[in-house]
Amino acid sequence: MSSLTHPAISPPQVSAASFLATWLRDLRLAALASVLAAVTIVLTIARPETLLEQLVYSLCIGVPGFAVVDAARLRLCPVLDGHPRHWLALVALMLLVAGPAHFIGIHIGAAVLGQTAPSLAAYPTVGRVSYILFTFLGMVAMTLMVLQRERVQRMEQVHNEARLRAETVERQALQAQLRLLQAQIEPHMLFNTLANLQGLIAIDPERANAMLDQLIQYLRATLGASRSESTTLAEEFAAMEAYLGLMGVRMGERLAYRLELPAALRQVKLPPMLLQPLVENAIVHGLEPKIEGGEVHIAAEARDGLLDIRICDTGLGLGQASRSTGGGVGVATTRERLRVLYGERASVLLAPAQPQGTLVRLTLPLETA
């Protein structure tokens, strides 16, 4: 019995609501065991013509007898692991029930088959005592089968609960990692803008005022979304339009931009602030160092159940030193965020644009808000 003991998976008490369902489920297992007992008897006595008779008697004896034992177990001592006194009480109950169960089962079986059952006075014989012992052993086997099934179910429940706890911890860790990655994005852009704003106040107050207006629009478009777990593509494009307007004040005619968002994709979900570091990369590493500046083109389309977003600039291109190590912090941070959120279902591709510049292509699952 020690092999059934496991302190980490002690069985719960059977409630009144679940008692009947558990008891009926156990009786189905008892019926199966009774059929196996009948087949065993037929094979032992080598009389296959008595199979039907043995099946009737075995079912009439085994199922009612086990029904009494299992009902008592479920009501009085459902927790058997680690409690020997409960096992002793259950074995004693099976010994008490085996005789009456066999006698009553014989009479029920005889009535079903149209045979004559022995009277109580003529009942005790050596052969019938051996069958009573067989009935007792059958009850023990049925009880062990039920307990083993319950133990397996408890182990599965513990495993599932442990898996759910592990998934919860993993989700919390991923959320913390995403918040850290996102926290790296926002101050970087704001500090650069404020530094430029500080320089403009002294030399060009009018442009500084225009930049401040654009900064307010950008913050209005992004602050709410940046604190959420997800945003829509329409909100993300609006934030990028505000950001590019802000950069347009700084760069003047050296910066042109286009945004293409199909109406059918406006409510598609994606992580907040996903495009901003990539667009900032295109400007800081591609367009600002270029004397004549250039254009940033942002477009989105649906393709085979995936969302495809392209950020293309006509800047200096991947041949520059600042891009040669993988596109800067923006691409690395975006790639890591997508890996955490989507695993292998998302990707970031960095490639040369034609005739000049850089193309960043994001592919992620298409999810509608």
Give the predicted TM-score (pTM) of the model.
Answer: 0.51
Domains (ranges, CATH) in the chain?
2-166 (no CATH), 204-368 (3.30.565.10)
Q: Quote the CA–CA distance of 359 and 327 in Å, as a whole number.
A: 11
Question: Which residues have a Cβ under 8 Å from the Cβ of 17 and sit 6 or more positions away?
Answer: none
Token reading at 76: 């009085």
Rg (CA), the chain: 38
Q: Are 217 and 247 in contact (CB under 8 A)?
A: no
C-alpha separations of 148 from 29, 141, 142, 155, 296 in Å? 12, 10, 10, 10, 67
Angle between helices 16-45 and 126-203 (to 10 degrees): 130
pLDDT in tens, the chain (369 residues): 334 444 444 444 546 667 788 888 888 888 888 888 888 888 888 888 888 988 898 898 888 888 888 888 887 766 555 567 777 888 888 888 888 888 888 889 888 888 888 888 888 888 788 888 888 888 888 888 888 888 888 888 888 888 888 777 666 666 655 555 555 545 556 777 787 788 788 888 888 888 888 888 777 777 665 566 778 999 999 889 988 988 888 888 899 999 999 999 999 998 888 898 899 889 888 898 898 989 999 999 998 889 999 999 999 888 764 443 344 567 887 888 888 888 889 999 999 988 889 999 999 999 886
Q: What is the DSSP letter of 274?
A: S
pLDDT of residue 268: 93
SS3 content of the chain, % helix, strand, coil (to 5): 70, 10, 20
pLDDT of residue 4: 41
HSE at residue 233, side-chain half, CA atoms within 13 A, is 27
365 phi, psi to nearest 5 deg: -60, 145
pLDDT of residue 17: 63
pLDDT of residue 178: 54
Q: Quote the CA–CA distance of 317 and 286 in Å, as a whole number.
A: 6
